[in-house]
Structure 1
Amino acid sequence: MNPVIVIFGANGFLGRYLSRHFARSGKEVVAVACDREGWSGDGMFLEWDGKTIGPWALALEGAEAVINLAGHSVNCRYTQKNRGLIKQSRVDATLVIGQAIAGCKTPPKTWLNASTATWYRHAEDKPQDDWLGEPGDGFSCEVAQAWEDAFFQAQVPAKTRKLALRIGMVLANEEGTVYDVLRKLTARGLGGAMGGGNQRVSWIHMEDFLRAVDFVIADPFLDGAINVTAPDFPTNREWMRVFREVVGMPLGLPAAEWMLKIGARLMGSEIELVLKSRWVDSVRLRDAGFRWRWSRAAGAVANLEGRRGLEGFFRAPSGRSAGARVWLPIGTR
């Protein structure tokens, strides 16, 4: 039997791509989610409620890896109700997966739990790395810390290696994602700096995200918290310039903070998702030998232009196509 990968939250953005990736890699995929809507159709689907142990727990026996991505979407208004859902859904899912692993006769080899690059405090002068980075404050940081606390405090067998993946903004050309929203705004001439424009962006191309997950599963010496971001941290001003160049829009109207507040409310989202600076360095991945295929924002954004949707992403070749300019330092572009 092929190695088994169990993915919780498999009908979400990252879950769909991971399910397709592992299925194409010859793994036996078990997709677990609250309902089938959004599921890629890869592997075997099991339903759960995110709170209680059910038949899905049997799938964890002897699994090569368990990947937990479950949680209420953060792309919403941060009302009191939604704040509770965002935080509690992540904690509940993590706790019940830990209980299921603890009850396994043959526990899974590796448990990867999603976390977020917003775990860190904002630093003006340098990126936060996985060794020395300091926790931040505010709602998003509070959620990240509660999520990781539930994960690391889970009492599972020593045979199960645990990693919390502090993931930056993952880029894929799909409807409703960050890439899609920014591209559409840019095409309409609204791709200027947002807010002050100096906030940093920590991101990673979907292809490198999938490769990084493979990498940490295969390395038995990696555990604990690890950053999953590209080694390129453009400012928002530089970031939007990349999108303008890709869509061929010479102008981009800047957006003041008050304009972004109105736009976020109309879109049912939060201004924090745009204005919060995320400057995170993946030191542990780099030191372990991981090499990014898409290490610069210009190349990553250009590559995704021709890889629309899940089918387009996996159908297209993954060679570098943006030319030598991609490799130039940001300041010289």
Structure 2
Amino acid sequence: MKKRTIVISGANGFIGRYLSRFYRDNGWRVVAIARSEKGLATGVDYHPWDGMTLGDWAKALDGAELLVNLAGRSVNCRYGEKNKRTIRESRVQSTQVLGEAIRRCSNPPALWVNSSTATIYRHAEDRPQGDFDGELGTGFSVEVAKSWEESFFGAEVPGTVRKVAMRTAIVFAEEKGTVWDVLVKLSKKWLGGTMGNGRQKVSWIHIGDFCRVVEWLRLHEEASGVYNVSAPNPIDNRELMKQARKAAGRCFGLPSAKWMLEIGAFFLRTETELILKSRWVVPTRLLEEGFEFRSEEFGEMFNKWRKD
């Protein structure tokens, strides 16, 4: 019996690696499209791609059931003009090229899932931002997200192709180099205190639930358009750092004022927006349409998945 095929672009990132394993372990053929084989899950078919041009990799889309685009340069960097250009182009151009590849398919994927980001919403400390009533923000990151979605929904593909943009919150997992790993390591050094005023909201989702959302979207043929992909109960930075200290076995962490974070971000070659923007995003559509999260409370998240 022929295996179902999923194509994942940007498959060698942390999320792509987990998603590859999720579908591989469920009996699918996984085609990984990425700049290099480094970081890929085992047992996948690799096709090299520069993220900008058509090539032989495009043939893998013909006959595939599902395409998930995760391609895009990391935003964990300084926002100089060169990095800004690369961040935007790596998202917009890769999406445009995938659209062209789909148009050339005689048997295109039934579903095209494209990454987007919960950062598209405004800084919100007053109320949550849902799929239907969320207010878009301003600034560089928001404009990138808008352009990303415009290139996705503007791509002309056969009418049989269903499109979903996932406005994803911060994805958590217990893996080296991920956000949680960084926060726990900071806490072990007694640097896990509140960041800024601590009131900024942190919308989050466990990587296991992220993979389950992708599969749920595939199974529900009525699902299309934009979905907020985040757990139902965001926390604030104060609670996030409390949980990180708990995981690190520390009862205290040095708090960081905004000016301290600015200095630290300069030396770490990153931006304070990643820490200080209040992302209060809720998954209105997923909940109303019946998706059931395994992890709804941050403090219980890792223990629940460890049991498996």
Output one character per residue of 1:10-44: Cα deviation in whole Å (capped at 9) or x when no partner: 11111111111111110010000011121122310
Change (3 A) 1:293 1:151: same
Matched position secondary structure for 1:181: helix
Structure 2 counterpart of 1:176, which letter? Answer: G
Aligned to 1:135: 136
Partners of 2:70 and 2:63 in 1: CA distance: 20
Unaligned runs of 5+ in 2: none
- Alignment correspondent of 1:216: 217
5+ residue gaps, structure 1: 305-315, 319-333
- Structure 2 distance, partners of 1:255, 1:124, is 19
Could you say what secondary structure the match of 1:26 adopts? Answer: coil
Q: Is the 8 A contact 2:199 2:236 kept in 1?
A: yes
Of 239-248 and 220-229, more deviation after overlay is shown by: 239-248
In the other structure, the counterpart of 2:23 is 22
Amino acid at match of 2:169: G
Q: Does 1:81 align with 2:52?
A: no
* TM norm structure 2: 0.97
CA shift for structure 1 position 51: 1.2
| 2:167 aligned partner | 166
Give the distance between the partners of 1:8 and 1:288, measured in 2 at CA: 27
- Correspondence for 2:108: 107
Indicate the residue corresponding to 2:243 in structure 1: 242
Instruction: Please give the per-residue CA displacement for 1:186-219, whole angstroms capped at 9, x wherever unaligned.
Output: 1221111101111000000111111111111111
Amino acid at match of 1:119: I
What SS is found at the alignment partner of 1:111? strand
Q: Aligned runs of 1:182-197 on 2, under 5 Å?
A: 182-197=183-198
Post-superposition offset of 1:283: 0.6
Q: Report the aligned-residue RMSD.
A: 1.2
Structure 1 length-normalised TM: 0.90
1:302: Cα distance to partner? Answer: 4.6
Q: What secondary structure, in the 3-state scheme, does the structure 1 residue paired with 2:31 have?
A: strand
Q: Which residue of 2 aligns with 1:287?
A: 288
Q: Secondary structure at the residue paired with 2:86?
A: helix
Alpha-carbon shift at residue 77 of structure 1 (Å): 1.1
Per mean C-alpha deviation after superposition, the further-off stretch among 234-243 and 153-162 is 234-243
Aligned match of 1:298: 299
CA contact (8 A) 1:62 1:109 kept: no
Deviation at 1:301, TM superposition (A): 4.4
Residue 2 of structure 1: CA displacement?
1.0
Query: What SS is found at the alignment partner of 2:240?
Result: helix
Distance in 1 of aligned mates of 2:123 and 2:271: 18
- Which residue of the partner structure matches residue 201 of structure 1? 202
Give the Å deviation of 1:245. 2.2
**Any idea what the Cα deviations from partners look like across 1:226-245, whole Å, max 9, x if unmatched?**
01000111110111112222
CA distance in 1, matches of 2:74, 2:225: 24
Q: Could you tell me the percent identity over the aligned residues?
A: 50
The alignment partner of 1:165 has SS state of strand
Deviations 1:78-97 (A, max 9, x none): 11100000001100000000
Q: Show the counterpart of 1:31.
A: 32
Q: Tell me how far 1:267 sits from its aligned partner.
A: 1.8
8 A contact 2:125–2:200 mirrored in 1:
no
Q: Following TM superposition, by how much is the alpha carbon of 1:303 offset from its aligned partner in structure 2, in angstroms?
A: 5.1
Q: 1:110-121 counterparts in 2 under 5 A?
A: 110-121=111-122
Matched, 1:274 2:275: yes
SS in structure 2 of the partner of residue 279 of structure 1: coil
Query: What residue number does 1:126 align with?
Result: 127
Alignment of 1:22-61 (within 5 A): 22-61=23-62
Query: Aligned residues, how many?
Result: 307
CA deviation profile, 1:52-108 (whole Å, cap 9, x unmatched):
111111111121110000011111111110000000110000000001111111111
Q: Deviations over 1:118-140 (max 9, x none)?
A: 01112332110111212111111
Aligned to 2:257: 256
Per-residue Cα deviation, 1:253-297 (whole angstroms, up to 9, x for no partner): 110111111221222211111111100010111111111111111
1:9 counterpart letter in structure 2: G
CA distance in 1, matches of 2:295, 2:123: 25
CA contact (8 A) 2:125 2:278 kept: no
Q: Which whole-Å CA distance do the structure 2 matches of 1:80 and 1:302 have between them?
A: 42
**What letter matches 1:27 in structure 2?**
W
